[in-house]
Structure 1
Amino acid sequence: MNKISIYIFFLIAICTNTNVSIAQDAPAPTMQNVTGNVYDEASRTPLSGVVILQLNTGVTLNGGVTDSAGHFKIAVPIGRQTFKLTYMGYESRVINDVIVTAGKEVNLNIAMQEALHKLNEVTVVYNKAKDKTRTNNDMAQVSARSFNVEETKKYAGALGDPSRMAANFAGVASGNDATNDIVVRGNSPSGMLWQLGGLNIPNPNHYGSLGSTGGPVSMINNNNIDKSDFITSAFPAQYGNAVAGVFDIKLRDGNKDKKEFMAQVGFNGFELGAEGPLGKKKNTSYLINYRYSTLGLFQTLGINFGTGSATPFYQDLNYKITTQVSKTAKVSLFGIAGLSSIDFLGKDVDSTKTELYGGDPYANQMSRYATTITGLSYEQRLSSKTFTRLTLGYSSTYEKYNEDSLSYIGNSVTPTYYHKFTTGKMSAIWMIAHKLSAKDNVEAGITYDHTNFFLNDKQLHPGSPDEVYVDNKGNYGLAQAYAQWKHRFTNNFAAVGGMHFQYLTISNSIAAEPRLSFRYAFNSKQALSASYGLHHQAQNLYTYYAQTETATGITYTNKDLGFTRSNHFVLTYDWNITQNLRLKAETYYQALANIPVERTSSAYSEVNSGANFNNSFADSLANKGTGRNYGAEITLERFFNKGYYFLFTTSLFQSYYKGSDGVERNTAFNTNYVFNALAGKEFKLGTKGSVLALNLKLTTVGGRYLTPIDLDQSRIEGKAVYKVEQAFSEKQSPYLRADVKIAYRKEYKKSTLEVALDMQNITNNQNVFTKGYDAKAGKIVTVYQQSFFPIPMIRYTF
Structure 2
Amino acid sequence: MLGCLAFAQQTLYKIEGTVIDRNTREPLEFVNVLVVGLNIGSSTDAEGRFRIEQVPPGIYALQASMLGYKTVTTSEYRVNHRSPHIQIEMEEEKTQLSEVTVTASPFQRITESPVSLRVIGLQEIEKAPGANRDISRVVQNYPGVAFSPVGYRNDLIVRGGGPSENRFFLDGVEIPNINHFSTQGASGGPVGLIDADLIRNVKFYSGAFPANRGNALSSVLDFSLRDGDMEHRSVKATLGASEVSLSSNGHIGEKTSYVVSVRQSYLQMLFKVLGLPFLPKYTDASFKVKTRFDSHNELTLLGLGGIDRMKLNLGIDGEDAEYILSYLPKIEQETFTLGGVYRHYAGPHVQSVTLSHSYLNNRNLKYRDNDESSEENLTLRLRSVEQETKLRMENTSRWDVWKLNAGIELNYSHYTNTTYQQVYTQEAHTSDYYTDLNLFRWGLYASMDYTAPDERFTASLGVRADASNYNDKMKELWRQLSPRLSVSWKLADGLYLSGHTGLYYQLPPYTALGFKEENNRYVNRHLDYTSVSQTSAGLTWTPNETMELSAEGFYKYYKNMPLSVADGIPLSCKGNDYGVIGNEALVSDAEGRAYGVELMFKWLIVQRLNLSSSLTVFKSEFRDRRKESDYISSAWDNRFILNVSGTYNFPKQWSVGMKASCIGGSPYTPYDAEKSSLVSAWNAQGKAYYNYDLYNTERLSAFGQLDIRVDKTFYWKKCMFGIYLDIQNITASKLRQPDVLMSTGQIDNPSAPLAEQRYVMKSIKQESGTLLPTLGITFEY
Report the alpha carbon displacement of residue 623 of structure 1 after superposing the two structures with TM: 2.0
Q: Secondary structure at the match of 1:350?
A: coil
* Superposition pairs of residues 540-559 of structure 1, within 5 angstroms: 540-549=509-518, 553-559=519-525
Q: Secondary structure at the match of 1:166?
A: helix
Change (3 A) 1:500 1:67: farther
Give the equivalent residue in structure 2 for 1:475: 438
Give the equivalent residue in structure 2 for 1:139: 112
Give the equivalent residue in structure 2 for 1:443: 405
AA in 1 matched with 2:776: M
Match of 2:733 among 760, 765, 770: 765
The alignment status of 1:522 with 2:491, answered yes or no, reads yes
Give the equivalent residue in structure 2 for 1:539: 508
Q: CA RMSD in A?
A: 2.9
Change (3 A) 1:252 1:489: same
In 2, Cα distance between equivalents of 1:557 and 1:363:
26
1:289–1:319 contact (8 Å) kept in structure 2: yes
* Superposition pairs of residues 446-465 of structure 1, within 5 angstroms: 446-459=408-421
Report the alpha carbon displacement of residue 88 of structure 1 after superposing the two structures with TM: 2.1
Match of 1:78 among 56, 59, 62: 56
Report the alpha carbon displacement of residue 532 of structure 1 after superposing the two structures with TM: 0.6
Give the equivalent residue in structure 1 for 2:757: none
* Superposition pairs of residues 65-464 of structure 1, within 5 angstroms: 65=44, 72-80=50-58, 81=60, 83-94=62-73, 99-102=78-81, 104-106=82-84, 108=86, 110=88, 112=90, 114-115=92-93, 117-119=95-97, 122-128=100-106, 130=107, 133-134=108-109, 139-176=112-149, 177-279=151-253, 282-298=254-270, 302=273, 304=274, 307-308=276-277, 310-346=278-314, 348-354=315-321, 360-362=324-326, 365-382=329-346, 384-406=347-369, 414-436=377-399, 438-459=400-421
Report the alpha carbon displacement of residue 388 of structure 1 after superposing the two structures with TM: 0.8
Report the alpha carbon displacement of residue 236 of structure 1 after superposing the two structures with TM: 2.1
Report the alpha carbon displacement of residue 614 of structure 1 after superposing the two structures with TM: 4.2
Give the equivalent residue in structure 2 for 1:667: 634
In 2, Cα distance between equivalents of 1:369 and 1:183:
23
The alignment status of 1:722 with 2:690, answered yes or no, reads yes
1:420–1:455 contact (8 Å) kept in structure 2: yes
Q: Secondary structure at the match of 1:714?
A: helix
2:415–2:514 contact (8 Å) kept in structure 1: no
Change (3 A) 1:471 1:785: farther
Q: Could you give the per-residue CA deviations for residues 97-142 of structure 1, whole angstroms, max 9, x where no partner exists? A: 754223x3145565545545314873253423x3xx346xx52221
Q: Secondary structure at the match of 2:189?
A: coil
Change (3 A) 1:577 1:423: same
Give the equivalent residue in structure 2 for 1:17: none
Match of 2:644 among 674, 677, 698: 677
Q: Secondary structure at the match of 1:542?
A: helix
Change (3 A) 1:75 1:430: farther
AA in 1 matched with 2:257: S
2:112–2:208 contact (8 Å) kept in structure 1: no
In 2, Cα distance between equivalents of 1:204 and 1:775:
36
The alignment status of 1:778 with 2:758, answered yes or no, reads no
In 2, Cα distance between equivalents of 1:239 and 1:67:
39
In 2, Cα distance between equivalents of 1:298 and 1:28:
39
Report the alpha carbon displacement of residue 410 of structure 1 after superposing the two structures with TM: 11
Report the alpha carbon displacement of residue 481 of structure 1 after superposing the two structures with TM: 1.6
Give the equivalent residue in structure 1 for 2:722: 754
In 2, Cα distance between equivalents of 1:183 and 1:52:
43
Q: Secondary structure at the match of 1:167?
A: helix
Give the equivalent residue in structure 2 for 1:655: 620
Report the alpha carbon displacement of residue 711 of structure 1 after superposing the two structures with TM: 2.7
Q: Could you give the per-residue CA deviations for residues 556-605 of structure 1, whole angstroms, max 9, x where no partner exists? A: 221221101111101011100222111011001111111122569x6322
2:292–2:299 contact (8 Å) kept in structure 1: yes
In 2, Cα distance between equivalents of 1:25 and 1:124:
40
AA in 1 matched with 2:8: P
Q: Secondary structure at the match of 1:163?
A: helix
1:37–1:46 contact (8 Å) kept in structure 2: no
Q: Could you give the per-residue CA deviations for residues 287-317 of structure 1, whole angstroms, max 9, x where no partner exists? A: 11111112245457x4x2x634x43211111
Change (3 A) 1:396 1:580: same
In 1, Cα distance between equivalents of 2:202 and 2:46:
25
In 1, Cα distance between equivalents of 2:259 and 2:37:
34
The alignment status of 1:792 with 2:766, answered yes or no, reads no
2:85–2:230 contact (8 Å) kept in structure 1: no
Aligned-pair identity in percent equals 22
The alignment status of 1:739 with 2:707, answered yes or no, reads yes
The alignment status of 1:31 with 2:31, answered yes or no, reads no
In 1, Cα distance between equivalents of 2:661 and 2:586:
38
In 2, Cα distance between equivalents of 1:163 and 1:44:
38
- Which one is further off, 490-499 or 73-82? 73-82
1:701–1:735 contact (8 Å) kept in structure 2: yes
In 1, Cα distance between equivalents of 2:271 and 2:4:
29
Match of 2:573 among 585, 605, 608: 608
AA in 1 matched with 2:135: P
Report the alpha carbon displacement of residue 781 of structure 1 after superposing the two structures with TM: 3.2
In 2, Cα distance between equivalents of 1:469 and 1:412:
15
Give the equivalent residue in structure 1 for 2:563: 597
AA in 2 matched with 1:430: M
In 2, Cα distance between equivalents of 1:47 and 1:768:
62
AA in 1 matched with 2:5: Q
Change (3 A) 1:413 1:545: closer
In 2, Cα distance between equivalents of 1:57 and 1:743:
21
Q: Could you give the per-residue CA deviations for residues 426-460 of structure 1, whole angstroms, max 9, x where no partner exists? A: 11111111112x21110111121211121122225
Q: Secondary structure at the match of 2:651?
A: strand
Give the equivalent residue in structure 1 for 2:599: 634
AA in 2 matched with 1:591: Y
1:406–1:413 contact (8 Å) kept in structure 2: no
Q: Secondary structure at the match of 1:633?
A: strand
Q: Secondary structure at the match of 2:225?
A: coil
In 2, Cα distance between equivalents of 1:455 and 1:412:
20
In 2, Cα distance between equivalents of 1:629 and 1:342:
35
In 2, Cα distance between equivalents of 1:45 and 1:707:
60
1:603–1:661 contact (8 Å) kept in structure 2: no
2:371–2:377 contact (8 Å) kept in structure 1: no
Give the equivalent residue in structure 2 for 1:8: none
Match of 1:566 among 517, 532, 537: 532
1:407–1:413 contact (8 Å) kept in structure 2: no
In 1, Cα distance between equivalents of 2:413 and 2:53:
48
In 2, Cα distance between equivalents of 1:773 and 1:554:
35
Match of 1:502 among 447, 459, 466: 466
Q: Secondary structure at the match of 2:164?
A: helix
Match of 1:698 among 660, 668, 675: 660
AA in 1 matched with 2:488: R
AA in 2 matched with 1:749: K
In 2, Cα distance between equivalents of 1:779 and 1:240:
47
Change (3 A) 1:286 1:712: same
1:381–1:388 contact (8 Å) kept in structure 2: yes
Q: Secondary structure at the match of 1:476?
A: strand
Change (3 A) 1:362 1:244: closer
Change (3 A) 1:409 1:314: closer
In 2, Cα distance between equivalents of 1:262 and 1:407:
42
Unaligned runs of 5+ in 2: 745-759
In 2, Cα distance between equivalents of 1:472 and 1:412:
23
